[in-house]
């Protein structure tokens, strides 16, 4: 039996103006953020975990579980990796260019869930049209009250920076995606961690095996 489920992530792409705030609001945009702000951050993370929402990269890591690894600190930053440096891939580029408000709303919800007050979207510099639309959507989100001080009248505030990368395959990895916006060279480093963590880097094969055993 062949089924044809309704699209979720790409459901707005049939509209020519899918990148605009007007179309986003007409199709339920920012309703999820309003709902999330009526919940506690832990409730939002738990809801995402129960929904089995997975990363769209090759690992398919559960988003809720990744959020649970967050470091409880006075200042927390969220970096969204939109570099998409893998050859012949288009999943991030498509959303950045055609539905940037969805990317921004998801970023805000994630920041709320992990307690971040500053967020960055690291986007590949070659995505000229996507970067233009992403920055425009960011400006519109501020004007709409979805970003900045006391979002939608809540106690949560968030600033968002759109950071264009200079282009390098290695920037798709976790350590370079964090280092590039900080001004570090786009060069390979030691193996990226297998899991998000708040402690120091894994040390040796024994520690890496322990992480695999806990999966």
Q: Which band of pLDDT confidence, cut at 50, 70 and 90, is reported for residue 56?
A: low
Q: Is the pLDDT of residue 207 over 60?
A: no
Residue 119's DSSP bridge partners are 78, 160
Q: Which band of pLDDT confidence, cut at 50, 70 and 90, is reported for residue 211?
A: very low
What is the pLDDT averaged over residues 150-162? 96
Tokens 């307690």 sit on residue: 115
Least confident of 21-30, 57-66, 181-190, 191-200: 191-200
Q: Measured between alpha carbons, how far is 38 from 56 in angstroms, rounded to an integer?
A: 27
**Dihedral pair phi/psi, residue 158, rounded to 5°:** -150, 135
User: What is residue 208's predicted lDDT score, i.e. its pLDDT?
Assistant: 44
Q: Which band of pLDDT confidence, cut at 50, 70 and 90, is reported for residue 212?
A: very low
Q: Indicate the pTM of the whole model.
A: 0.78
101-118 per-position pLDDT tens digit = 999 999 999 999 999 999
Least confident of 14-23, 81-90, 160-169: 81-90
Q: Is the pLDDT of residue 159 over 70?
A: yes
Between helix 91-98 and helix 100-114 the angle, nearest 10°, is: 100
Q: Measured between alpha carbons, how far is 163 from 23 in angstroms, rounded to an integer?
A: 25
User: What is residue 86's predicted lDDT score, i.e. its pLDDT?
Assistant: 67
Q: Measured between alpha carbons, how far is 97 from 82 in angstroms, rounded to an integer?
A: 11
The alpha carbon dihedral of 152, 124, 10, 17 has a sign of positive
User: What is residue 77's predicted lDDT score, i.e. its pLDDT?
Assistant: 86
User: What is residue 35's predicted lDDT score, i.e. its pLDDT?
Assistant: 97
User: What is residue 71's predicted lDDT score, i.e. its pLDDT?
Assistant: 61
Which of 27-31, 53-57, 164-168, 177-181 has the highest mean predicted lDDT (pLDDT)?
A: 27-31
Q: Measured between alpha carbons, how far is 127 from 93 in angstroms, rounded to an integer?
A: 7
User: β-pairing, 159-164 with 77-82?
Assistant: unpaired
Strand order in the sheet with 159-164: 77-82, 118-123, 159-164
Q: Is the pLDDT of residue 25 over 90?
A: yes
Residue 39 or 166, more confident: 39
User: What is residue 137's predicted lDDT score, i.e. its pLDDT?
Assistant: 97
The CB-side HSE value for 154 (13 A sphere, CA atoms) comes to 21
Closest of 58, 66, 98, 103 to residue 196, by C-alpha: 66
Q: Which band of pLDDT confidence, cut at 50, 70 and 90, is reported for residue 65?
A: confident
């Amino acid at each position: 039996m062949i089924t044809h489920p309704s699209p979720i992530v790409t459901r707005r792409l049939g509209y020519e103006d899918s990148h605009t705030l007007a179309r986003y609001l007409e199709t339920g945009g920012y309703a999820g953020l309003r709902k999330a702000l009526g919940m506690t951050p832990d409730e939002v993370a738990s809801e995402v975990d129960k929904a089995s929402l997975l990363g769209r990269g090759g690992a398919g890591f559960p988003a809720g579980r990744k959020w649970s690894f967050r470091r409880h600190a006075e200042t927390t930053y969220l970096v969204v990796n939109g570099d998409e440096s893998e050859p012949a891939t288009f999943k991030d580029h498509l959303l950045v260019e055609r539905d940037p408000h969805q990317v921004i709303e998801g970023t805000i919800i994630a920041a709320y869930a992990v307690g971040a007050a500053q967020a960055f979207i690291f986007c590949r510099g070659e995505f000229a049209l996507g970067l233009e639309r992403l920055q425009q959507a960011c400006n519109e989100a501020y004007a709409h009250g979805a970003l900045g001080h006391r979002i939608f009248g809540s106690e949560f505030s968030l600033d968002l920076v759109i950071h264009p990368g200079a282009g390098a395959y290695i920037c798709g990895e976790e350590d370079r995606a964090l280092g590039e916006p900080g001004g570090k060279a786009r060069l390979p480093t030691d193996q990226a961690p297998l899991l998000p963590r708040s402690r120091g880097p894994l040390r040796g094969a024994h520690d890496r095996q322990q992480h695999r055993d806990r999966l």
